[in-house]
Amino acid sequence: MIATQQNNVPFQWVKYAVYLALLNNVYLFLVEELESAAALNTSITSVASVFQIFSTTIDTAAWLVLLLFFELETSVLSDQVLRGITGRFIRLIRFVCLITICIACWGYFAELYGLLARPWPFCSARKTHKRRLRREFARRASKGATL
């Protein structure tokens, strides 16, 4: 048994390094979404807007929590402990993560709908340019000058 524990140690270090990398990924998603919200001058007006703005961070964090609880259930905690209040708590957290992932999925679709509902940037710039040309033409025409 000691030989298998010694062989298992590098595997455990790699596994925990992956968990740390995933946690770093959640942090990087949060930073990116904060910067994009600031660049777009987006304000948080409701809980729904939080899920729409931070859907990637929330989704990734919920999956990471599910992964960590799976690790607890399979490697750390005994079956006897999982039958008690700890097991109920873990199932409750898993259910909350499931709901969170579903709401984050809604946030993805809401953001996609928001992107598709907006006019294309070059179309609105082109319209603005045409309006500017018309105003300039009207101003010059009223002065009697030609273009």
Give the confidence band of 1 by pLDDT, cuts at 50, 70, 90. Answer: very low
pLDDT reported for residue 29: 93
Q: What is the pLDDT of residue 2?
A: 45
First to last CA, the chain: 91
What angle in degrees, to the nearest 10, is found between the helix axes of 2-39 and 55-71?
Answer: 170
Sequence spans of domains, the chain: 2-118
Q: Which two tokens stand for residue 124?
A: 């609105």
pLDDT of residue 81: 79
- Here the tokens at position 142 are 């009223």
User: What pLDDT score does 146 carry?
Assistant: 53
Average pLDDT across the chain, whole number? 80
Q: What percent of the chain has pLDDT over 70?
A: 83
**pLDDT tens, 71-129?**
888 887 777 878 888 888 988 999 999 999 998 888 888 878 877 876 655 555 556 65
